[in-house]
Chain A
Amino acid sequence: MKTENQKAWFFVLPVLLLVAFNALVPIMTVVNYSVQETFGDNLFFWQGLDWFQQLLNSERFYAALGRQFLFTGIILAIEVPLGILIALSMPRKGIWVPVCLVLMALPMLIPWNVVGAMWNIFALPKIGMLGYFLNDVLGVPYDMTQNPLAAWITIIVMDVWHWTSLVVLLSYAGLVSISDAYYQAARIDGASRWSVFRYIELPKMKSVLTIAILLRFMDSFNIYTEPFVLTGGGPGNSTTLLSIDLVKIALGQFDLGPAAAMSLIYFAITLLVSWVFYSLMTKDDAK
């Protein structure tokens, strides 16, 4: 005879409550908005999946989504290799280690809207140091408020400046955890610098790099504050990334239904890409 102890449920309860308030309740609120038309005075009208259909047929959404993927793709392609390269060239021991680490951590400690404001002022033509230097000293026409390419370059450079450090610090943590014995084995085998990187350092960094890429993907895919402060999505719509577009719909136009539907799709894409990437990267280890 098996006796069942129902008390176990009580132990699970706190987690259940936590998850409910942390995830389920907010998401369900958004779901609630996404299937209704909302008016003032709390008037709701059932819409079904209309908002989702409308969104998935709108060119505006795909344009913003495309810009979002382009932005994330570019910053990952720059920050990951650059971060690894910087981590590789940092000293592994000695008095310069803490100096390097603190210097690396500094950009990440600055509040995001300050980063945006900083780069805004820095890059403005005439006023900003960068803008002035490019336009008036080098003679390169550069105006991020007028030229979409200049705006893109500015938000990308800003993000690289702000977040490459994260990749550096995680890669560095992976590198210092490699025992000297591996490097010695490589020297004894006569391996080249590239082989050491390819067959020792990269595999040993794989798990931290996976986390680094995942974090950078999620953060850059959901980025809002910095480009909003820097360019406000302009010039025109050229730097209107998904989150900026979302806020325009939700707060600018006060279309809560479409905005809620967009949030859910946005969330689903972030989740899906992260999950696929993580599964691919950890496939070998699970076997």
Chain B
Amino acid sequence: MIELQNITKRVGQFTHIKPTTLTLKAGHFNVLLGETGAGKTSLIKLIAGLDPLAGGTIRFDGEDVTRLGTQKRRISLVHQFFVNYPHMSVFENIASPLRVAGMPESEIQGRVEEAADILQLRPMLGRRPSELSGGQQQRTALARAIAKDSRAVLLDEPLANLDYKLREELREQLPELFKGRGAVVVYATSEPEEALLLGGETALMQDGQVVQFGPTADIYRQPATLSAAQVFSDPPINVGDVVKAGDTVRMGAATWTLTGAAAGLADGPYSVAIRPHHVLPVAEEGATVPLEGEVIVTELSGSETSAHFRMATGDWVSLAPGVHPYKVGEAHRFYMDPTHCYFFAPDGQMVA
């Protein structure tokens, strides 16, 4: 368990990490989700002890490590670029932290081979990193993190520089790799999909602070703020300005009747947000509210079709299964499912 208490980071006048309090547990993935520059790497470096804290305390399993050097924290870190010792074999690369720790040779042999087996590196143990593919290099870095007896494993966008296929493959293996190891796994990513696939708990980060933290699925379903919803949606979530009056709500030319929690809101202006896959090109069960728009861009990605369309109130995106023959520049009527709308007060807090 890693407890962060009010930790902050400042560089000169700039605050990189605003006071942050988090409790990261072992046994599942702790995902830091945020866009580039949100502070994910900064937070990871603070946990690793690579950068000085401006304030706050860090505890590993109850032990205060705030003033402990990186070397003594017993952690592993995997970067988004592949960092291996260039003139050591893969075996020596995986073994290096164990050697520094003074582990007996027989145990090192066993550990390295175990890690190599998990990551399918057995045939490459004698090679140099430069002789490996990018995926194999990153697997070597991951094997080093696994072989070491760490209290925290910090993964900073480890799959970002891998090609699509390898990324999917490694992403599936990752949760298995760290199962039952007792280490707290922290995983930074900018991809919402990755957070959902890895499960566990997610901390949404924005502008150097954690805006929401909890079980990943809960955060996806119940974003606390409009910005949290925006960070945790790919393709971007549709946002529109509405006015509620009585039990109807109006967004430009579109109106619909409110049910559920939203019906109980006070009359007035709100922002609604709805994910693209709840805006469909045809009327369906649930998707009943018509939206008139002009198609401006369409993309067919395998089994799904997305369409960007322009309304008087703004541009929205529809994402629908199957192939839909849109014509760019033509008017099209889309239908949205009003039960999947999030309502946010003008200050950005979710209200329904």
Which residues does A use to contact B, with CB under 8 Å? 179, 181-182, 184-185, 187-191, 195, 199-200, 203-204, 206, 284-285
Contacts and interface: CB of A to CB of B under 8 A. Distances in A.
Contacts of A189: 71, 96-97, 100
Contacts of B70: 184, 187-188
B91 to A, nearest CB: 14
Contacts of B159: none
B81 A179 contact: yes
A57 to B, nearest CB: 45
Contact of A184 (B48, B87, B100): B48
Contact of B76 (A181, A188, A195): A188
A181 B97 contact: no
A240 B290 CA distance: 97
Contacts of A187: 50, 69-71
Contacts of B60: none
- Taking residues whose C-beta sits less than 8 angstroms from the other chain, chain B's interface range is 20 to 34
Nearest to B101: A190
Interface string B23-38: 0000000000000000
B96 A181 contact: no
A204 to B, nearest CB: 7
A186 to B, nearest CB: 9
B204 interface: no
Contact of B87 (A185, A190, A203): A203
21 contacts: A181-B79, A181-B81, A182-B83, A184-B45, A184-B48, A184-B79, A185-B83, A187-B50, A187-B71, A188-B48, A188-B70, A188-B71, A188-B77, A189-B96, A189-B100, A190-B71, A190-B97, A190-B100, A199-B87, A203-B85, A204-B86
A200 B87 CA distance: 8
A188 B75 contact: yes
Most chain B CB neighbours (cut-off 10 Å) among A179, A189, A191: A189
Contacts of A191: 96, 100
B101 A184 contact: no
A285 B72 CA distance: 35
Nearest to A185: B83
B81 A184 contact: no
A191 B97 CA distance: 8
A195 B97 CA distance: 12
B328 to A, nearest CB: 44
Nearest to B98: A189
B88 interface: yes
Contacts of A284: 87, 128
Contacts of B76: 188
Given A182-B83, A188-B75, 19 more contacts: A179-B81, A184-B70, A185-B77, A185-B83, A187-B50, A187-B70, A188-B97, A189-B97, A189-B100, A190-B71, A190-B97, A195-B100, A199-B88, A199-B96, A204-B86, A206-B87, A284-B87, A284-B128, A285-B130
